[in-house]
Amino acid sequence: MPPNSLLRRSRGALALAVTLAPLVAGCAQKGDFGRSQPGAWNTFLETAGTLAARERGEAAALYPFTDDEGELRDRAWRFLMPTSPLVAFTDILANLTRTRILPESWRPDSPQAFYETLMDRPFRSPVSRYHRLSDDIGADARLLPIFAATATRVIQADALRLRSIQFSRSLDDWDVRNAQMRVTENRCLIAWVRLETDLRIARYRFALEHLLIAVPSPEGALVERTLRALEARRPILDALVPPGSEDRCAFAGPAVEAVVALPPPPPARPIVAKY
């Protein structure tokens, strides 16, 4: 059953959150190991995003996050933020989308954006561009298994959550619905990271191919090996969510049941039992 105070705060905060979020989005900061930095700004954006997603009819549970669910969202930061963070406006839009203040369809998708940012910045030697590209790819390759391990724990907890519904007699529709929405949120976030990882690989490949034409260097071989290492680790995401989850999530729709199916209810107990 929803706490009345929580519902009142949710309704009252929505307009303020959505209005102020773009003003503070640029203040959201990156923490260590590709995670969002804990703080008031990031917490505000995430709360505003939950309220905005609910207003759009998307799955957005009011339950607090478990430790692993919070870690999952922190780890997703690396893959949902742009590969070219030096473009301030793009960075703000991406952060508003990551926190669900804007729907996923607002997210800019330009395969050449990373390469353009890479080359637009002043540099003394073209070799530094190869090093920057290799460093970014290598960071993705190192952090992807950590994200996958966290996602696995979240999926296991969600399975326990759904199984427990069968044996809980005191739950009402609000409880069940929020449990279902939280599972959907988690699975769609994992699917979103998988989609964005594919896009990041495509952007890295675009950048490498164009660097080799614009400023050829033997350093390209190192970048190629690093990129292949990332591509080799990419399939670990396929074991987490079914194929096509990205299409079913759509990242902007209310079709919760299309993503998560609740287990069947337990059989009714007979009023009179014969022994």
Mean pLDDT is lowest, of 75-79, 157-161, 248-252, for 248-252
Going from N- to C-terminal start, the domains of the chain cover 4-249
Could you tell me the pTM of the whole model? Answer: 0.73
What is the spatial distance between Cα 219 and Cα 126, in angstroms, rounded to a whole number?
10
Instruction: Give yes or no for residue 26 having a pLDDT over 50.
Output: no
Handedness of CA 192, 194, 199, 204 (dihedral sign): positive
Note the pLDDT of residue 46: 62
Band (pLDDT 50/70/90 cuts) for residue 240 is very high
CA angle in degrees (0–180, nearest 5) for 256-257-260: 90
Within a 10 A sphere around the Cβ of 224, how many other Cβ atoms? Answer: 15
Name 98's Cβ contacts closer than 8 Å, sequence gap at least 6: 76, 77, 80, 81
